Amino acid sequence: MSGPLAFDPIQRASESWAKHYPDAGEEVYRSMRAVTSIMRAQQVLLAGLDAVLKPFGLTFSRYEALILLTFSSAGSLPLSKVGERLQVHATSVTNVVDRLEASGFVKRVPNPSDGRGTLAVITDSGREVADAATQELHKTQFGLQDLQAPDLEALFRILRELRIGAGDFVR
């Protein structure tokens, strides 16, 4: 992208939506603006977070897995639990753990509680890189440094309701 646009493309799209679908109603236009804004915000945030994490050899998904392992009591979790907690497909977990293992941040070991399962175990270098990367993310407030505390709280509450409605978790 060559720089900021001189207009809000989502507002413009909403106006076009209203012209092409005049009977849809204001609720639909509001919903379209909101969902498109959420999707664009996700792109903006992910690009910013990945840029902060790149010097550490991480992407945000790899960082999330490292932090999950850091927070676990033993520094390890079954791969199935990693997927469950990060709410991603097993294939994504395998890919993330493969990359982290190749970087020396995680190792796989047989799960002593389940002869068929595998544990992802964070290494000392994984802990070090997770800590260093976290310090950098703290400086940017995870890419949300332009929002004030009340807006951050409101955003969390609003998106939490959306996640509950989608069956993400039980209230």
Neighbouring residues of 94: CB distance < 8 A, sequence distance ≥ 6: 79
- Domains, the chain, ordered by start: 9-165 (1.10.10.10)
Question: In degrees to the nearest 10, what's the CA dihedral of 101, 104, 109, 113?
Answer: -90
Asked if residue 124 has pLDDT above 70, the reply is: yes
Give mean pLDDT, residues 40-66.
Answer: 96
Asked if residue 115 has pLDDT above 80, the reply is: no
| pLDDT tens, residue by residue, 73-105 | 999 999 999 999 999 998 999 999 999 999 999
Mean pLDDT of the chain: 94
Give mean pLDDT, residues 109-113.
Answer: 90
70/145 Cα distance (integer angstroms): 25
Give mean pLDDT, residues 56-77.
Answer: 96
Rounded to a whole number of angstroms, the CA Rg of the chain reads 20
59/84 Cα distance (integer angstroms): 19
Helices (DSSP H) in the chain: which residue ranges? 9-20, 26-53, 60-71, 79-86, 90-102, 124-139, 149-165
